[in-house]
Amino acid sequence: MPVSEDMVFGVPSLKKGQEWNAAKCLMGEPSLKELVPDADLGKCTRPGSRNMVRRPQDVDRAFGCPSVRTDIPMKSFKSVANYVNYGDEPEAIDILFPASNAEIGIQ
């Protein structure tokens, strides 16, 4: 095939800063507006319920059950059917960006 000497076949490599990984595939590239917490975060949005506190010291209190349960003791044997997070699970960063040798059990 008659081609010039500087001709290269294939797909060009990505330039630095354009790499996509699992985190970018899951989260995308959100704007600042999308990263700001919701205005009703920690408040009741159920129709007919009150969003007012009864005591003045509860004005800044967030009601509800915490995601990580430090208020109940951890069981000695955790079943796979137990969905309670006791705070012993790996961080999201460790799941999205595992260590290079994590596949063979080296941390």
pLDDT digits 0-9 by tens, 85-94? 888 787 888 7
Buried b / exposed e along 24-42 (16+ C-beta atoms within 10 A): eeeeeeeeeeeeeeeeeee
Question: CA distances (Å), 41 to each of 15, 45, 55, 102, in order?
Answer: 39, 9, 20, 36
For the chain, which ranges sit under pLDDT 70? 12-18, 50-51, 107
Please give the helix or strand (H or E) that residue 32 lies within, else none. Answer: helix 32-35
pLDDT at position 56: 87
Q: CB–CB of 43/51 below 8 Å? A: yes
Find where tokens 């009703």 sit: 40
